[in-house]
Structure 1
Amino acid sequence: MNSETIIPKTNTIIKPNLNPIPIMKKVILLPLIALLLISCGDKQQTSEAVAAPLLPVFSIQNTNAVTEVEYPAAIQGAVDVEIRPQISGNLERVYVDEGAYVTKGQTLFKINERPFREQLNNALANLHAAEAAFINAQLEIDKLTPLVQNKVVSDYQLKTAKASQKIAAANIEQTKAMVASARINLEYTTVKAPVSGYIGRLPKKQGSLVSASDIEPLTNLSDVHEVFAYFSLSETDFINFKAQYAGSTLGDKIKNLPAVSLILADNTPYTHLGKIDMIDGQFDKTTGAITLRATFPNKNGTLRSGNTGKIHLGIQHDDAILIPQSATVEMQDKVFVFTVSKDNKVTKTPINIIGKSGTNYLIKDGVQPGDQIVLSGIDKLQEGQKIQPEKAKPAVAEIINKK
C-alpha cells in the first residue's frame, strides 16, 4: 500500500510528518526560555534593589561650636613648703604622723634644746657682766667729775672714764644681741607648722641627727584647700587662645575666660570647675610653650600635691562645620565621609579634623556647607554606589546644629 493519500477534490498530495521530534523540542524549549527571561528580570530587579539601599543623609550647614582641647596638667597645693630644721641637733620628738592634717602653729618636731638653753644662759651672763661694767664706768665718771671741776685731777682721767662707759654700753648691746640669738635658736628647737595642711613623708625618725644643711627636709607640708593645675600652651595655641576672648590686655582676657574642667588620672571629671587666673610672663626657650595656671577649690582634700590630670579648655568656633563621628570611617590614618552627588551616587571624601565638639567632629576642609553626607550604614558602601537618600530625622539635625 502506498503511503501517499489522495484527496479527490483538490488532487493535493499531503505527505505525513514521519519525524515529530523537532516539534516536541520547540514545545518544550519555549516555556523554558520564558522562565529564564522572567528569572533574569527578577534578578535584575533584585540587584537594582540591593545596589540602591535606603540610607539617611544630612545636609551640612554652618553652626557655632565649642571644642574642648586637652592639656596635661600638674597639680600643686596653694602652698607647698619644705619643713627644715634651722639648727643642728638630735631629733627628740616627732609629734605628727605621715599624711596627717595639721593646723597653723601646731608643733611638729622637737629638737634637743639643752645645748641651746645653755647658750642662752651664757649669753645672759655676759649681758649681766656688761651691764655691771657699765655701772662701774658710770661710778668712775661720777667720782672724777667734781675732782676735775675743782682741778684736783686732770680732765684726762674723766675722758678715759667716759670712753670706758661707752665701751661698756656697746658691750651691753652686743650681749643683748647674743641673748636674742640664743633665744631664737632655743625657739628653733620646736618646729611648728607655718600653714595648715597635710604632712608628707617623714624621712627622719626620732633620735636622728638633723641639720639645716640636710639634703632631705624633715617633711613637706601642703595647704590644699585649693589647688593649682599648671599646663602649657604652644605658641600657636596661645595665639589662637588669646584671639578667642575680648580684652586689650592679658589681664582683661583672663577675666573673660570661661571656667575649665579637670579630668583626673582615672578619666573621671573633677566635681568642681576651675578658673584660669595666671599666664606666665614668658615662653620657655627649651619647649617653646607658655605656662598657664587654673585654680580649683578643694575643701574636701580630694586632690593632693603631685596629682596629675588633664585640663579641658573650651574654644569657641563661629560658622563651623560639624559632622557626627558616626558618619565617618577611618582608613590608613585618614578620616573619610561618603558624600552624595545629584544622581544619588556616593563618593568617599577625605576630611581634615581640627577638634571635637561632643560627639561631632569639627571639620577644617574636605566638605562644604550644602554638601550631603551619609549618616549611617557606611560600612557596606562602595565608591560610586547608588543609594536612595532619606533626609535625616529632625531630631538628629537639631542635635548637630546645636553643638
Structure 2
Amino acid sequence: MTHTAPTPTQIVASPGSRRDPRRGGPVIAGAVLVTLLAACGRSGAKPAGPAGPVEVGVVTLEPTAVTLTRELPGRTSAFRVAEVRARVNGIVLKRLFTEGADVKEGQRLFLIDPAPYQAALDGARAALARAEANVANAKLLADRNADLLKDNAVSRQEYDNAMAGLKAAEADVAAAHAAEQTARINLGYTTVTSPVSGRIGRSSVTEGAYVQAGQATLLAVVQQLDPVYVDLTQSTAEVLKLRRELESGKLRSAGQGRAKVRLVTEDGHEYGADGALQFADVTVDPSTGSIALRAIFPNPKGELLPGMFVRARLEEGVNPQALLVPQVGVTRDQKGLPIALVVNAEKKVERRQLVTDRAVGDAWLVTGGVKPGEQVIVEGLQKVRPGALVNPVPAGGAKQAAR
C-alpha cells in the first residue's frame, strides 16, 4: 500500500476531535483557531508609532529697500515730423531723393518748373529799375524848384508839386522792391528742400504731377528718429496713489532729476538704452480716466520706428521697508485671493491671506498678511496642512522626499 504525505494545508485532527460522519474530515475546534491567530499575531510586524514633524523649507521675511517700477503701455513717435508741401503752383520736373533714405536739412527734394517764376522775377526787376529812374528825375525837379523858389522864379505851389512827385516816386521804388522780393521768393520755392534732418518716406507725387500752393499739395514726409518719443498712459488712480505714498514717506523719490525709463519692445526684448521721463500732461482723458506721459529715448541705430507698440518700465520710487515673498510660496484660494503658509512660534503651520501690491522679479511685494521675521514655507507645501507640526529649515536645505 502507498502512503501519501499530508500537504501543508491539511490539518491532522487530535485524538479527541470529532469527525463529520458525512465528509469523513476532522472538525477544527474553536480553541485551535484561537491558538493559530495568536501565533500569527506574535509573528507579524509591530504597529507603526506616531509620525514626527515634517521638514519644510522656509524663507524668513526681512525688510529690504526696493526700487519700484511701473510697466505702462505706449507707442513710439518721431521727435520731429515735417510735412513737405508745395508752396507754388507748377509741374514737378524732378524728384531729387531716394525714398526711405536719410536726408539733411536744406537738401533738395523736388524741382518744380521755374520758368514762369523766373519771368515774373525779371518783370519785377524791370519795374524796380523804372521806379528808380523816376525817383532820380523827380529828385532833380524838386532840387531845381527849390533853387528857383529862393529867387521867386516859381510859385510855392509848383515847388510843393515837385516835392510830392519825388515822394511818390520813392514809394513806387519801395513797392517795386517788394514785388521783386516776392518774385525771388516764389522762384526759390520751385526748389523744394528738406526743412529738417531725418528719414524721408515715400514720395506722394511723381515727375509730371501738377501741384498747387492753394491746396498745399503734400509731396513727402520727413521724420527725425534720433531721439524718439514714447507716449504712455497711466490711470489717475495710480498717479494719486503714487503721490500720496511719496508725500507720506512710504516711498522715497528715485532721483532728483527726471525719472529713468526702460523700454521693452514688441518681441519681448529690453531696449539697450535708458530713456527719461520728459513730462506728464495736466489733462485727464475723460473717456479712459488716464493721463498722458512722454518719455524720450536715444535712437542712434534707428531701431525704434514711429508707431511701434512698446511697454515702458518707469521708476516710481524706493520702498525702504519692502517685504518680498517668493512667488513659489504663494498660492490662490477658491476666490482667487493670494495665500501663504507660515510657521508660527510653536512650529505649527498657519494659513495667511496676503495683500499683494505687484510682482518684483520672482517675488510678490506684500503689504499685508505677514510681518517681518516670519517664516514662509516655500518647499514642501504639498506635505503639510494648517495646524501641522513642522521642522523648518532654510529653503534649499530641506531633504528631498523619498521616491
For the aligned pair, the TM-score class normalised by the smaller chain equals 0.7 to 0.9
Identify which of 25, 35, 38 aligns with 1:30. 38
Q: How many Å separate the matches in 2 of 1:317 and 1:288?
A: 27
Matches within 5 A, 1:242-321: 255-280=256-281, 282-286=282-286, 287-314=288-315, 315-321=317-323
Q: 1:253 to 1:90 in 2, by over 3 A?
A: farther
Q: 1:363 to 1:32 in 2, by over 3 A?
A: same
Q: Could you say which residue in structure 2 is the equivalent of 1:21?
A: 29
Q: Could you say which residue in structure 1 is the equivalent of 2:139?
A: 138
Q: Could you say which residue in structure 1 is the equivalent of 2:336?
A: 333
Q: How many Å separate the matches in 2 of 1:69 and 1:153?
A: 92
The residue type equivalent to 2:360 in the other structure is S
Query: Which moves more between the two structures, 190-199 or 146-155?
Result: 146-155
The residue type equivalent to 1:323 in the other structure is V
Q: How many Å separate the matches in 1 of 2:54 and 2:142?
A: 122
* 8 Å CA contact 1:67, 1:355 repeated in 2: no
* 8 Å CA contact 1:74, 1:307 repeated in 2: yes
Q: 1:279 to 1:395 in 2, by over 3 A?
A: farther
The residue type equivalent to 1:115 in the other structure is P
Q: How many Å separate the matches in 2 of 1:387 and 1:113?
A: 95
* 8 Å CA contact 1:346, 1:386 repeated in 2: yes
The residue type equivalent to 1:299 in the other structure is P
After superposition, give the CA deviation of every residue in 1:101-155 in whole Å (9 maximum; x if it has no partner). Answer: 0112211112221222122122112212212222232233344344434333322
Q: 1:18 to 1:299 in 2, by over 3 A?
A: closer
Gaps of 5+ in 1: 1-15, 247-251, 397-403
Matches within 5 A, 1:202-241: 202-214=203-215, 217-241=218-242
- Name the SS for the 2:183 alignment partner: helix
Query: Which moves more between the two structures, 56-65 or 148-157?
Result: 148-157
Matches within 5 A, 1:338-349: 338-342=341-345, 344-349=347-352
- Name the SS for the 1:333 alignment partner: coil
* 8 Å CA contact 1:54, 1:387 repeated in 2: no
Q: 1:253 to 1:68 in 2, by over 3 A?
A: closer
Q: Percent identity?
A: 26
Query: Which moves more between the two structures, 366-375 or 282-291?
Result: 282-291
Q: Could you say which residue in structure 2 is the equivalent of 1:6?
A: none
Q: Could you say which residue in structure 1 is the equivalent of 2:74?
A: 73
Q: 1:59 to 1:215 in 2, by over 3 A?
A: farther
The residue type equivalent to 1:62 in the other structure is P
Q: 1:168 to 1:254 in 2, by over 3 A?
A: farther
Q: How many Å separate the matches in 1 of 2:339 and 2:217?
A: 56
The residue type equivalent to 1:319 in the other structure is Q
After superposition, give the CA deviation of every residue in 1:310-349 in whole Å (9 maximum; x if it has no partner). Answer: 2112331121111011111235533222223455443443
Task: Give the TM-score normalised by the residue count of structure 1.
Answer: 0.80
Identify which of 382, 388, 391 aligns with 2:390. 388
Gaps of 5+ in 2: 1-14, 19-27, 248-252, 399-403
Q: What is the Cα deviation at residue 162 of structure 1?
A: 1.5
* 8 Å CA contact 2:66, 2:319 repeated in 1: yes
Q: 1:218 to 1:386 in 2, by over 3 A?
A: same
Task: Give the TM-score normalised by the residue count of structure 2.
Answer: 0.80
Q: 1:394 to 1:125 in 2, by over 3 A?
A: same
Query: Which moves more between the two structures, 179-188 or 131-140?
Result: 131-140
Q: 1:244 to 1:272 in 2, by over 3 A?
A: farther
- Name the SS for the 1:260 alignment partner: strand
Query: Which moves more between the two structures, 20-29 or 354-363?
Result: 20-29
Q: How many Å separate the matches in 2 of 1:190 and 1:330?
A: 69
